Chains A and B, each alone.
Chain A
Amino acid sequence: MAARSGKITKDFVFEKASAFFASVVLFLAVLLFAVLLRESIPALRKFGASFLVTGTWDPVLERFGALPFLFGTLVSSFLALLIAVPLSVGAAIFINEFAPPWLKAPVSLLAELLAAIPSVIYGLWGIFVLVPILRDGLMKPLTKYLGWIPLFKGPVYGPSMLAAGVLLAIMIIPFILSVSREVLATIPQRQKEAVLSLGGTRWEMIRIVIGQHCIPGIFGATVLGLGRALGETMAVTMVIGNRPEIFASLFQQGYSMAAVIANEFAEAGGLQLSSLVLIGLLLMLLTLVVNFAAKGMLSKMVARASRGI
């Protein structure tokens, strides 16, 4: 009997030990929120809701507002989606429907490697390769001929909202691509065959079946990509220009929430530090809402696919 109760005790200890480590993870998550909230209280007290709509960022006068950063984060991220979503969905369709079987594995491996590149390397490449290409090949000609459109207004510096958007697009493509491929893979083969057997061309098959089946899933993939783009720090910091102002032109410099934290946090103190933490808290909440929305959409889609609708 003694031996048996000994065994039970060891099992008990092991279970409780594993539960203890799990509670450490839970504790860390709670602590993260608590820390950010506590540190941002001075800024919250001072500025309140006006923090969101104030466009000044003046460490000397101690007047801080998040608007230029919020603007930069949202505009660069949406720009990235605008570029990345069509390309990723197109590439996913190519891999799943057109590519010869031997090409599928290498292409997905390449996309996964793209996801493994550290963001500081994207930033480095952005500064020295992408920005010059965009400046001379796209921004200068567009300003010259279409400069009267506010979106393309000069002067052209190089580092800009556009550069940040394009670089972010390259970075989030692997994620949107792999989720899109999973979404496309849920289409029942018989539906594709049904369209083809009625005399539809391959494109009509894709248009009809994907239009019916995959729009929610692709939307989920898009939102997931957005979650990635919002929090991206290094690459954006290196090419966006880091100027806390709001311009209509995509060729002008901007700033993002993550970038201002990266640039100013180490040397900030007092109210500026608190304002930076508040920006961090806002960024985290924004990312979390977007991520959970994406997860909800995708799991709904998977559930539908498993029911065979």
Chain B
Amino acid sequence: MTGTITFRRKAVDRAMKWVFYLCAFLVVLPLFLIFFDLVIKGAKELRWSLLIDLPRPVGEPGGGIANGILGTVVITLLTMTWSVPVAIMSGIYLAEYGRGKFASAVRFAVDTLTGVPSIIMGIFAYVLLVVPMKRFSAWAGAAALSMIFIPVVVRTTEDMLRTVPTTVREAALALGITRWKATLRITVRTAWPGILTGILLAMSRIIGETAPLLFTALGNQFWQSHLDQPMAAVPLQVFTYAISPYEDWHDKAWAGALVLITMVLLINIAARVLTREKR
């Protein structure tokens, strides 16, 4: 009797082990499939002209997404220009001074904003900028992306500053420098690799964001250097090409996606390498 029970228990044990192996396999499988398809299908249209030419109408061979690449770079840099200072200073406030009701309110606001779906940020920028300006613009796109960027970086900055031991702050103050100098030159500098990683991860996230740009930056067929005009972006081009009914645009969507994932992963991996080296 005991013999059979043991056999049954062993069999169940072995079967469950294979179930767990299967789960792990199924979890990583889509990643390989996605990368495989991206490389195979994206490489078909991946030529030099993709990176330096403007989009062309359906049926015309060639053409590229160069304006989208430039637009993505411009909108991302625009977003970061004002978001990085706001986020880092807020993070410093929360970590170094933040006590009491005001600080809890700010923390609650940051938590709230982090969880808001990104498309909602598009509505926000639309109402505040597109409606009064009476046109879609790079400004509005950057404003929507800031709402995603800022809370993420505030949170990582606060967390990273909190990992700096109090003794470091005390040592700096004991040497007679003022608190603000100690904060900027000692505490922030010590935590800087972690903060920079947070900034880069947030950056890699907003580069790929599409939904908040749909009705803010809108997209553009041409070069656009004016920030108060609609501007192209790679994710928007991928979306437009993907849902179009034309075969040659589908190929462009894959090539655009390959360009986009390369940008995103390069920054993402740079962020990870950075922390690994410093730790």
Give the CA-CA distance A295 to B155 in the complex, in Å.
Answer: 15
Q: Please state if B124 and A283 are interface contacts (CB–CB under 8 Å).
A: no
A26 contacts which of B106, B235, B257 (Cβ < 8 Å)?
Answer: B106
Q: Please state if A238 and B243 are interface contacts (CB–CB under 8 Å).
A: yes
Instruction: Please indicate the chain B residues that have their CB under 8 angstroms from the CB of A271 in the complex.
Output: none
Interface residues of B in 50-105 (CB under 8 A from A): 85-87, 89-90, 92-94, 96-98, 102-103, 105
Number of A-B contacts (CB under 8 A): 254
B112 contacts which of A15, A97, A262, A288 (Cβ < 8 Å)?
Answer: A288
Instruction: Please indicate the chain A residues that have their CB under 8 angstroms from the CB of B265 in the complex.
Output: 113, 116
Beyond A99-B24, A129-B37, A201-B13, whether A119 also contacts B210 by CB under 8 A is yes
Q: Please state if A94 and B21 are interface contacts (CB–CB under 8 Å).
A: yes
Interface residues of B in 13-37 (CB under 8 A from A): 13, 16-17, 19-24, 26-28, 30-31, 33-34, 37
* Per-residue interface assignment for chain A, residues 10 to 46, with 1 indicating a CB less than 8 Å from any chain B CB and 0 otherwise: 1101110111111111101111100110010000000
Give the CA-CA distance A159 to B97 in the complex, in Å.
Answer: 52
Q: Please state if A233 and B211 are interface contacts (CB–CB under 8 Å).
A: yes
Count of interface residues, chain B, beta-carbon cutoff 8 Å: 88
Q: Please state if B93 and A19 are interface contacts (CB–CB under 8 Å).
A: yes
Q: How far is the CB of B73 from chain A (nearest CB, A)?
A: 16
Q: How far is the CB of B91 from chain A (nearest CB, A)?
A: 9
Count of interface residues, chain A, beta-carbon cutoff 8 Å: 84
Instruction: Please indicate the chain A residues that have their CB under 8 angstroms from the CB of B105 in the complex.
Output: 26
Instruction: Please indicate the chain B residues that have their CB under 8 angstroms from the CB of A110 in the complex.
Output: 28, 31
A284 contacts which of B24, B117, B136, B205 (Cβ < 8 Å)?
Answer: B117
* Per-residue interface assignment for chain B, residues 91 to 133, with 1 indicating a CB less than 8 Å from any chain A CB and 0 otherwise: 0111011100011011001111101111111111011100000
Give the CA-CA distance A127 to B257 in the complex, in Å.
Answer: 13
A291 at the B interface (CB under 8 A)? yes
Q: Please state if B30 and A170 are interface contacts (CB–CB under 8 Å).
A: yes
Q: Can you list 11 pairs linking A and B with CB atoms under 8 Å apart? A: A17-B89, A25-B151, A26-B105, A26-B109, A32-B120, A91-B24, A120-B208, A206-B16, A261-B123, A277-B123, A280-B120
The 10 closest A-B pairs by CB, nearest first: A118-B208, A231-B117, A90-B23, A14-B180, A29-B109, A21-B89, A18-B93, A201-B13, A291-B115, A233-B211
Which residues does A use to contact B, with CB under 8 Å? 7, 10-11, 13-15, 17-26, 28-32, 35-36, 39, 86-91, 93-95, 97-99, 107, 110-111, 113-114, 116-125, 127-129, 170, 173, 177, 201-204, 206, 227, 230-234, 238, 258, 261-262, 265-266, 276-277, 280, 283-284, 287-288, 291-292, 295
Which residues does B use to contact A, with CB under 8 Å? 9-10, 12-13, 16-17, 19-24, 26-28, 30-31, 33-34, 37-38, 41, 85-87, 89-90, 92-94, 96-98, 102-103, 105-106, 109-113, 115-124, 126-128, 136, 147, 150-151, 154, 178-180, 183, 204-205, 207-211, 214-215, 218, 235, 238-239, 242-243, 250, 253-254, 257, 260-261, 264-265, 268
